Amino acid sequence: MLYQLLKTTHSLTAYLVLGFLLFSVVNALLGLLQKRAYTKKDLRIHLFALIFTHLQVTLGLILYVVTPLLQSWGALGAKVMKDAYLRKMLVEHPFGLVAAILITIGWSLHKKQKTDRGAFKKILIFYAIGLLLILGVLPWKTWLAF
């Protein structure tokens, strides 16, 4: 019951993460191209993307620990590596954590920038790379069947 609730919440939160990250990347790109001032609205957009990404990672880490799939790690992971679904869920999908780390680095670096252009640039680079990594580790077959 708890496992299924976590799995459903994790899947639904992914839509929010993708939406906010895409919106943040587009916002940063437009801010950079239009040479806009970095306002409180921009800060909030990028902060919400960061918050939902962290929420997603937290749910994912909890889910990873309680998943019944974790029992497949016996015999040095041979079973996991031979099965495409298990490999995706237990090895590749957790690399989304790297995306969250990059997004967090981008958030931290953008606050240290002296110019609005520098702030938009840091957000654009790190959030875009994070978004691409997340898109790469999504279990598309499972997720779209949801």
**How confident is the model at residue 67, as a pLDDT?**
77
What is the total residue count of the chain?
Answer: 146
**How confident is the model at residue 121, as a pLDDT?**
97
**How confident is the model at residue 72, as a pLDDT?**
64
23: CB partners within 8 A, 6+ apart = 45, 49
**How confident is the model at residue 76, as a pLDDT?**
58
For the four alpha carbons of 112, 115, 116 and 119, in that order, the dihedral sign comes to: negative
Domains in the chain with CATH codes: 2-145 (1.20.120)
Asked if 102 and 57 count as a contact pair (C-beta separation under 8 A), the reply is no
Q: How many whole angstroms separate alpha carbon 16 and alpha carbon 132? A: 15
- Report the chain's C-alpha Rg in angstroms: 17
Chunk the chain into consecutive blocks of 10 residues (it has 146) and report each block's average pLDDT, rounded to whole numbers.
86 93 98 96 97 94 79 65 77 86 96 94 97 90 68
